Amino acid sequence: MPDRPTILLLDGHSLAFRAFYALPDTLRTQTGQLTNAVYGFTSMLIKMLAERRPDAVLVAFDKGRDISRTEAYPEYKATRTTPPDEFRPQVDLIKQVLEVLTIPIAEVAGVEADDVLATIATRAIEEGFHAYIVTGDRDSMQLADEHLTILYTLRGISEMAEMTPEAIEAKYGVPPRCYVDYAALRGDNSDNLPGVPGVGEKTAAKLISEYGDIDGVYEHIDEISGKKVPAMLAEHEDQVRINRKVMRLRCDIDVDADLADLRMGAIDMPALRQLFGALEFRVLLDRFVDEVLGEVEEEQATAFERSPQRLEQGELAAWLDGLTGPLAVHPEVADRVPHVAFPAVGLAAPDRDPVSVRFDEVGSDDLDALATALADPDLAKVVHDVKTLHHAVAARDWTVSEVALDTELAAYLLNPEQRSFDLERVAVQYLSRTLQTGDSEDAGDQLSLGLEEDPWEDRALRALATLELAEHLGPQLEERGQDELMRTIEGPLAPVLARMEENGIALDLHVLDEIRERLVARVADLEDEIYDCAGREFNIGSGPQLQQILFEELELPKTRRIKTGYTTDALALQGLAGSHPIIEPILEWREMTKLLSTYVDALPPLLDPETGRIHTTLSQTVAATGRLSSTNPNLQNVPVRREEGREIRRAFVPGEGFDRFLVADYSQIELRIMAHMCQDEGLLGAFRSGEDVHATTAAKVFDLPLDQVDGALRDRAKVINYGLAYGLTPFGVGQKLGIPPDEAVEIVDAYM
């Protein structure tokens, strides 16, 4: 790493253009806006910021035609085609991205971006910086020296070559100071600058190495061996000298850019979320927050101002006495098994120092006082992850009431696209506070292993962080009009989910045994059928072996190229349906074996040995849409499209102590929103009349009376309704329904 401060300089047009052609034109928003150039540029930018951690940064763009170069050579870049219509709007979007990221932009009318970058780099080096220029233009190689490195794009913009002076000389055979002379002999087709016929890269490098520069070459032209090369050099001398003039970058551009101002400023997170949300860049937003913003915030993080205290017997009751709230509570848990009691807690309140309490170090009066405070409806509590608190107190037969704010849920509502809402992450993000000693789960594991070290300070500081977060996030929810959503939906839902997790769900193992027997038999039949089609036995689950059977032995049409050959994923095999009898049984074999491995065989070991039930985790903070998420295990994706999948659902039962399931779900909520937004009379009429909207769609699309729509047609209409609502193309509809593209087009046309 350089021992100087660093400046990162990016050639905006060069990188955007490379991204445009490197990434597919399927990268579009649901509104149809093409975003491949914006996505590629932004992804590369985040990578550069995270890896280089520059002290200053700037992006330069071309602005109009290059006046000085076209005056010197009117044919300069004359062969370049006009950028596609879908490229130019993306440059404006890239500038919007840079604006919300507070990254300075430089443009000078009639000047190319690489001249602007050369000028700023020269200034920066004079002021003690090490400069990095990120570009796809080879002309920048002439600038490299001990304080300037070229980051040259290789494949698209995902791979960069770090071109130091040594690397440039190794690749081109000349040092950077001679690069322009070398390139003038070689020429540059991309800029419509013809080189000397018969003088390629090796010959050009040899000539410049031997004679120093173009002037030296022509001074010693009579000494150059052979007849053709000297003759061609003499014939094209004027062009070579024009090339050198045009290729030499200018370092004296009048550009308004003060190095002191070329630093990223404070990020307007709501504006950033709004723009990245409109561009549908959820993953990039997560990456920026985690890889760039997080590290910047951690570097600027400060310690807590209040000192934590460790309470002993008799001190907890006194600490709680007279408390008016809010009380921040951080229970320490070894894991999230609902029925495991917590051994310690961190507490914080506005008018006293935060404290840490281990229950084996205090008396029964202290524990009674804590249980009373937690249950007190007049004492507001704040917590980070209220479900964990509910589990913890329930395991001690305590209760908790009047949770005024869950800071995990609050952070989620303020930025649902964010990937993580761990207390450490949110404390750095909103408070610039660093929790130093690792997470509470690690601490709990230490306790459970009997290790002597007790992270009591961390426990108390986590409670204090929760208290400060509540003071910070509560007003933000009010400002954005989300406090009612928290108060009436997300907050009250959390304890309901906690009880659902505690209760768990039972399995009828006899049903699973029956399903297993049928699936095993079906898999065996499918394997026999596949082997008959292939003409021999092989490992159906092996990608390389399947490729050999399909593409070499059976000579089926090649699918998309991948590193190990040709893809055999489900989408690719569906595209081969009808080309050979082996395809359908392979697809079904995959489905059957997945049902066995993922559900039938995997679910029984997940039964809790104490409760005999499965305890999934239901999260409110995973899906940006607000949908609940089920993990450990995931009970949301049990398949229903095949009869075998529906049979697996039959194995889930209320179990002992419960009479029945309560099923609660929105009724076609997306379609109702769509009907309201677009005011389509067909959809509105179906909802107003109380009809089954999917059956109504099927009747209209397939031109049938409503009473003739069966379950299979209704399911197909459901795919169409939701697929088109979420931007599925006719091709995608065809893939989902397993029908030819032309038939899918007819269905979509009928729907519209």
What is the structure's pLDDT at 454? 67
Q: What is the DSSP letter of 433?
A: B
Among the ranges given (162-166, 267-271, 545-549), the one the predictor scored with the smallest mean pLDDT: 267-271
Q: How many degrees, rounded to 5, is the angle at CA 684 between CA 682 and CA 689?
A: 95
Phi, psi of 115 (to 5 degrees): -70, -40
Question: The sheet that has 381-383: what strands, in order across it?
Answer: 309-310, 352-358, 344-349, 327-332, 381-383, 403-406
Rg of the Cα atoms in the chain? 33
What is the structure's pLDDT at 340? 62
Tokens of 356: 């840490």
Phi, psi of 698 (to 5 degrees): -60, -45
Cα–Cα dist 133/48, whole Å: 11
Spatial CB neighbours of 573, under 8 Å, sequence gap ≥ 6: 559, 583, 586, 587
Q: Is the peptide bond before 633 cis (omega within 30 degrees of 0)?
A: yes
**Helix, strand, coil shares, percent, the chain, to 5:** 55, 10, 35
Q: For residue 439, is pLDDT > 50?
A: no
| Whether 114 contacts 247, CB under 8 Å | no
DSSP string covering 48-77: HHHHH--SEEEEEE-BS--HHHHHH-TTTT
Q: For residue 572, is pLDDT > 60?
A: yes
Q: For residue 747, is pLDDT > 80?
A: no
Q: Can you tell me which residue has the tokens 């700023």?
A: 120
Report, as an integer, the average pLDDT of 268-287: 83
What is the structure's pLDDT at 170? 93
Cα–Cα dist 259/265, whole Å: 14
Cα 191 to the center of its chain, rounded Å: 36
Q: How many CB atoms lie within 10 A of CB 382?
A: 27
Cα–Cα dist 641/76, whole Å: 60
| pLDDT tens track for 369-411 | 999 999 999 999 999 999 999 999 998 999 999 999 999 999 9
What is the structure's pLDDT at 364? 92
Q: Can you tell me which residue has the tokens 């090649």?
A: 558
Q: How many CB atoms lie within 10 A of CB 162?
A: 10
Cα–Cα dist 455/463, whole Å: 13
Cα–Cα dist 122/7, whole Å: 11
Cα–Cα dist 392/288, whole Å: 34
| pLDDT tens track for 151-193 | 998 876 778 889 999 999 999 999 999 999 999 999 888 888 8
Tokens of 372: 């009373």
Tokens of 78: 């004359």
CA atoms within 13 A on the CB side of 59: 25
Helix 711-725 vs helix 693-701: crossing angle, to nearest 10: 100
What is the structure's pLDDT at 441? 41
**H or E segment to which residue 216 belongs:** helix 214-219
Tokens of 365: 């009066």
Cα–Cα dist 645/66, whole Å: 64
Q: For residue 131, is pLDDT > 70?
A: yes
| pLDDT tens track for 85-97 | 888 899 999 999 9
Closest CA to 184 of 150, 152, 161, 207: 207
DSSP string covering 121-145: HHHHHHTTPEEEEEES-GGGGGG-B
Report, as an integer, the average pLDDT of 459-480: 93
Q: How many degrees, rounded to 5, is the angle at CA 269 between CA 266 and CA 274?
A: 140
Helices (H), 342-490: 364-375, 386-395, 407-414, 423-431, 440-448, 456-479, 483-485
Q: How many degrees, rounded to 5, is the angle at CA 129 between CA 126 and CA 132?
A: 115
Q: What is the DSSP letter of 188?
A: B
Q: Please state, for a pLDDT cut of 70, what percent of the chain lies above it.
A: 93
Q: Where are the beta strands (DSSP E) in 556-682?
A: 561-562, 565-566, 617-619, 629-631, 652-653
Tell how strand 506-507 and strand 652-653 pair up. Answer: antiparallel
DSSP string covering 611-628: TSSB--EEESSS-TTS--
Tokens of 38: 């914006």
Mean pLDDT of the chain: 86
Q: Is 402 left (phi over 0), alpha (psi -120 to 50) or beta?
A: left
Q: Where are the beta strands (DSSP E) in 471-609?
A: 506-507, 561-562, 565-566
DSSP string covering 17-55: HHHHHHS-TT-B-TT--B-HHHHHHHHHHHHHHHHH--S
Report the first-to-last Cα separation within the chain, whole angstroms: 59
What is the structure's pLDDT at 65? 72
Cα–Cα dist 391/477, whole Å: 26
| Whether 414 contacts 478, CB under 8 Å | no
Tell how strand 506-507 and strand 403-406 pair up. Answer: unpaired
Strand partners, 349: 352
Report, as an integer, the average pLDDT of 105-118: 91
Cα–Cα dist 686/684, whole Å: 5
Q: Is 193 helix (H, G, I), strand (E, B) or coil?
A: strand
Strand partners, 63: 111
Among the ranges given (106-115, 296-305, 623-632), the one the predictor scored with the smallest mean pLDDT: 296-305
Closest CA to 141 of 161, 124, 126, 113: 161
Phi, psi of 150 (to 5 degrees): -95, 125
Q: What is the DSSP letter of 505?
A: B
